[in-house]
């Protein structure tokens, strides 16, 4: 979640007038930050996760989203700091984001603190729920936008979203959120148009006529599940991680090292197979959010290839010999920049011989600010970063490069593609694996540079249904920086080969293993870490199901399911009830046995 300012949001036509002003002052603020912190050194490798829950009520055979965010957050603010948990608002009024109170690390043993902390976050929050309400860690709410899916009397078609399916009441009440929704639509000139393909089950008509939606834009194909509001995307939950670099250069290296992992981890964490009551032909949320906040006009789409929620377009390292040897080979997609901003950055004198960071920031500044608060236009640019954060926090890319916000926090990178998992164990496992991969990158001097066009192609592959089994991914197979002089080798590999290794590639898990063998860990600590790594390994090999496959199978084996791709209220209720039990019981053994592929 980005910044939350209080105040009066300007209407869209006013925002448009101030766009250049916000960009210009955003850059001035960024330049102050860079000059203040560019020589900051020796920050510890701290890290922290963010998980998002949905509050679902299960009562009398009916499941509904509960719109109680303000109430529950008010109460959660009273939890003492000593508990080391922290709760934050999110776009959906049925959502709660939870983070540790303080980041973890630097000792690698701190990875073992995450799972107990995740349990505590869930338990403490659940204590404030009313009877029948549950906190679920699910990527999308299956019946989002279908019939009376949320506890509200408000009609659809409200002024913010003007949606055929979602009442505005499901949006966080803070004025930033309805304003974001309205301004994306106004900037774009029409409502957002989101579509995913319907999963063609044995009784799904061909061609399909969506029984849950009668109006749809002409541009959409008959096999598309149509969605028309920001809430379908930003109302999804995810799992994010932030890593601190020792200094600005190490953070830049880490950003680049982790970027090629983004599509792989999206595919490996797949947990979102249902949208607007329909089983879809993909297992992940990413493209849905990308379309849900796509504010480009039709004209701009010809010039700007990606939504502001999309995969990154360029690497940013300053010192990496592999990138330096042939930056154009790796940064091989056209990166749209803002010439005025490029000039402003270059003339600061802070970026001598550093075109990649200029390109990175100038690329972020091609976007307009979406929400401006009247009271916050005038700022002291030497102390405030509001205008910079306005642009930065609405560039929702697979990776985010985060400058220090104050004297106590260093240069960080955020890894943003992963899907939220149903259980705390799984969320801990994916997070711990990524912490270990970040350590592997830094300590073993690994780099995974491949042309950005390959990362983009992998991102598409990650959207295939069951992409673990059906997809192959481009990946670099010589990853030690010492081999910088040798020619790069790229291969099309399965996730099993990339994670578990194969004759031509060492594999992530063996890399992690060799890193762990250099760490001083007790036997039981190592055993616990191994249990996380075995989840990752079994998922990559396809021996156990992703949460998406498991959810799909739950639907397809339900007595009410007619093999027509449609999720009924009963199917949804039973699915939500099962998920709430798995999440709350923490019965990992049972989950693993359910996840085993036959």
Q: Are 495 and 472 in contact (CB under 8 A)?
A: no
Q: How far apart are CA 344 and CA 262, in angstroms?
A: 31
Q: How many CB atoms lie under 10 A from the CB of residue 71?
A: 12
Query: Under the criterion CB under 5 A, does residue 409 sit at the interface with Mg ion?
Result: no
State the minimum distance, in angstroms, from the CB of residue 402 to Mg ion. Answer: 9
| Stretch 238-257: interaction string toward Mg ion, x if CB under 5 A | --x-----------------
What does 74-139 look like in DSSP terms, one character per residue? HHHTTS-GGG-EEEE--SBTTEEEEEESS-B-SSGGGGGGHHHHHHHHHHHHHTTSPTTEEEE--S
DSSP 452: H
Q: What is the 3-state secondary structure (H, E, C) of 158-211?
A: CCCCCCCCCCHHHECCCCHHHHHHHHHHHHHCCCCCEEEEECCCCCCCCCCCCC
Q: How far apart are CA 500 and CA 210, in angstroms?
A: 41
Q: How far apart are CA 180 and CA 152, in angstroms?
A: 21
Map residue 338 onto helix, strand or coil. Answer: coil
Taking CB under 6 A as the criterion, the residue among 237, 242, 307, 394 binding ligand ADP is 242
Q: How far apart are CA 344 and CA 31, in angstroms?
A: 10
| Stretch 441-470: interaction string toward Mg ion, x if CB under 5 A | ------------------------------
415: enclosing H helix or E strand = strand 412-415
DSSP 395: -
| Stretch 190-229: interaction string toward Mg ion, x if CB under 5 A | ----------------------------------------
Taking CB under 6 A as the criterion, the residue among 22, 25, 29, 50 binding ligand ADP is 50
Map residue 413 onto helix, strand or coil. Answer: strand
Query: Under the criterion CB under 6 A, does residue 46 sit at the interface with ligand ADP?
Result: yes
Q: Looking only at residues 103 through 142 of this chain, which bind ligand ADP when binding is defined by CB under 6 A?
A: 103
State the minimum distance, in angstroms, from the CB of residue 399 to ligand ADP. Answer: 12
Part of the chain binding ligand ADP (CB under 6 A), chosen from 44-52, 57-65, 226-234, 488-496: 44-52
Query: Under the criterion CB under 6 A, does residue 502 sit at the interface with ligand ADP?
Result: no
Number of residues counted as binding Mg ion (CB under 5 A): 4
Angle at 94 between CA 88 and CA 569, to 5 degrees: 155
Antiparallel, parallel or unpaired: β 194-197 and 224-227:
antiparallel
Nearer to ligand ADP, 83 or 374 (CB): 83
Query: Under the criterion CB under 5 A, does residue 3 sit at the interface with Mg ion?
Result: no
State the minimum distance, in angstroms, from the CB of residue 5 to ligand ADP. Answer: 14
Taking CB under 6 A as the criterion, the residue among 10, 26, 27, 49 binding ligand ADP is 49
Name 99's bridge partners: 86
Q: How many CB atoms lie under 10 A from the CB of residue 207?
A: 7
CA-wise closest residue to 170 among 143, 188, 136:
143
DSSP 398: S
Query: Under the criterion CB under 5 A, does residue 115 sit at the interface with Mg ion?
Result: no
Q: How far apart are CA 332 and CA 375, in angstroms?
A: 42
Nearer to ligand ADP, 1 or 186 (CB): 1
| Stretch 248-287: interaction string toward ligand ADP, x if CB under 6 A | ----------------------------------------
Q: How far apart are CA 451 and CA 334, in angstroms?
A: 12
Taking CB under 6 A as the criterion, the residue among 23, 57, 122, 412 binding ligand ADP is 412
Query: Under the criterion CB under 6 A, does residue 409 sit at the interface with ligand ADP?
Result: yes
Nearer to Mg ion, 92 or 273 (CB): 92
Part of the chain binding ligand ADP (CB under 6 A), chosen from 47-55, 165-173, 260-268, 532-540: 47-55
Query: Under the criterion CB under 6 A, does residue 244 sit at the interface with ligand ADP?
Result: yes
Question: From the list ligand ADP, Mg ion, none, which binds 169 (C-beta under 5 to 8 Å, kind-based)?
Answer: none
Question: From the list Mg ion, ligand ADP, none, which binds 181 (C-beta under 5 to 8 Å, kind-based)?
Answer: none
Query: Under the criterion CB under 5 A, does residue 49 sit at the interface with Mg ion?
Result: no
Q: How far apart are CA 419 and CA 188, in angstroms?
A: 28
Token pair of 353 as six digits: 């011989």
Query: Under the criterion CB under 6 A, does residue 99 sit at the interface with ligand ADP?
Result: yes
Token pair of 155 as six digits: 């009609």
CA-wise closest residue to 143 among 237, 64, 58:
64
Query: Under the criterion CB under 5 A, does residue 97 sit at the interface with Mg ion?
Result: yes
Q: How far apart are CA 191 and CA 145, in angstroms?
A: 16
Nearer to ligand ADP, 28 or 409 (CB): 409
State the minimum distance, in angstroms, from the CB of residue 98 to ligand ADP. Answer: 9
State the minimum distance, in angstroms, from the CB of residue 88 to ligand ADP. Answer: 6
Taking CB under 6 A as the criterion, the residue among 12, 37, 47, 515 binding ligand ADP is 47
Query: Under the criterion CB under 5 A, does residue 389 sit at the interface with Mg ion?
Result: no
State the minimum distance, in angstroms, from the CB of residue 296 to ligand ADP. Answer: 23
Query: Under the criterion CB under 6 A, does residue 100 sit at the interface with ligand ADP?
Result: yes
State the minimum distance, in angstroms, from the CB of residue 258 to ligand ADP. Answer: 14
State the minimum distance, in angstroms, from the CB of residue 185 to Mg ion. Answer: 22
Query: Under the criterion CB under 6 A, does residue 403 sit at the interface with ligand ADP?
Result: no
Name 57's bridge partners: 64, 133
State the minimum distance, in angstroms, from the CB of residue 288 to Mg ion. Answer: 16
In sequence order, what are the residues at sequence separation of 6 or more whose Cβ sits closer than 8 angstroms to the Cβ of residue 457?
A: 474
The site for Mg ion (CB under 5 A) is made up of: 1, 50, 97, 240
Contacts to ligand ADP by CB under 6 A: 1-2, 46-50, 99-100, 103, 242, 244, 409-410, 412, 414
């Amino acid at each position: 979640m980005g910044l939350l300012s209080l105040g009066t949001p300007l209407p869209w036509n006013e925002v448009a007038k101030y766009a250049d002003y916000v960009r210009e002052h955003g850059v001035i603020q960024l330049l102050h930050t860079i000059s203040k912190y560019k020589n900051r050194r020796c920050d510890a490798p701290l890290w922290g996760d963010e998980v998002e829950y949905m509050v679902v009520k299960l009562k009398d055979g009916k499941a509904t989203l509960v719109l109680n965010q303000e109430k529950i957050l008010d109460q959660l603010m009273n939890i003492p700091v000593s508990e080391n948990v922290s709760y934050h608002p999110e776009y959906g009024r049925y959502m709660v984001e939870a983070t540790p109170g303080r980041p973890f690390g630097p000792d690698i043993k701190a990875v073992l603190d995450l799972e107990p902390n995740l349990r505590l976050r869930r338990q403490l929050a659940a204590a404030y729920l009313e009877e029948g309400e549950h906190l679920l860690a699910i990527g999308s709410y299956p019946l989002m936008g279908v019939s009376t899916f949320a506890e509200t009397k408000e009609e659809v078609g409200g002024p913010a979203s003007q949606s055929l399916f979602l009442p505005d009441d499901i949006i966080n009440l803070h004025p930033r959120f309805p304003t974001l929704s309205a301004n994306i639509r106004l900037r774009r000139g029409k409502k957002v148009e989101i579509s995913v393909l319907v999963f063609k089950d044995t009784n799904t008509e061909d061609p399909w006529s969506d029984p849950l939606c009668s109006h749809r834009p002409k541009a959409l194909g008959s096999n598309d599940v149509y969605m028309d509001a920001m809430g379908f995307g930003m109302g999804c939950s995810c799992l994010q991680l932030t890593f601190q670099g020792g200094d600005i250069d190490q953070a830049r290296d880490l950003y680049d090292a982790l970027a090629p992992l983004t599509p792989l981890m999206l595919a490996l964490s797949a947990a979102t197979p249902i949208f607007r009551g329909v089983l879809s032909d993909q297992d992940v949320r990413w493209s849905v959010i990308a379309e849900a906040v796509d504010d480009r006009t039709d004209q701009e789409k010809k010039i700007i290839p990606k939504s502001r929620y999309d995969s990154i377009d360029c690497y940013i390292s300053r010192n990496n010999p592999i990138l330096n040897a042939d930056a154009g080979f790796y940064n091989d997609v056209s990166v749209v920049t803002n010439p005025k901003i490029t000039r402003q950055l270059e003339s600061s004198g802070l970026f001598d011989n550093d075109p990649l960071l200029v390109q990175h920031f100038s690329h972020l500044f091609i976007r307009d600010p979406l929400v401006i608060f009247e009271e916050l236009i005038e700022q002291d640019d030497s102390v405030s970063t509001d205008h910079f954060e306005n642009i930065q926090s609405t560039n929702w890319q697979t990776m985010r490069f985060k400058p220090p916000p104050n004297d106590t926090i260093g240069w960080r990178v955020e890894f943003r593609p992963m899907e939220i998992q149903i259980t705390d164990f799984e969320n801990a496992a994916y997070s711990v694996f990524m912490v270990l991969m970040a350590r592997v990158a830094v300590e073993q001097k690994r780099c995974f540079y491949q042309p950005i066009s390959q990362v983009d192609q992998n991102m598409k592959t990650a959207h295939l249904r069951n992409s673990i089994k059906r997809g192959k991914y481009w990946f670099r197979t010589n990853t030690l920086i010492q081999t910088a002089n040798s020619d790069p080798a790229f291969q099309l590999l399965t996730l099993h080969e990339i994670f578990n290794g194969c004759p031509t590639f060492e594999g992530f898990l063996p890399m992690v293993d060799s890193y762990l063998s250099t760490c001083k860990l007790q036997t039981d600590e190592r055993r616990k870490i191994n249990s996380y790594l075995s989840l990752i390994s079994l998922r990559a090999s396809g021996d156990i199901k992703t949460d998406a496959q498991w959810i799909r199978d739950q639907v397809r084996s339900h007595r009410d399911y007619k093999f027509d791709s449609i999720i009924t209220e009963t199917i949804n209720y039973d699915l939500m009830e099962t998920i709430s039990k798995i999440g709350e019981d923490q019965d990992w053994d049972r989950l693993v046995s359910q996840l085993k592929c036959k």
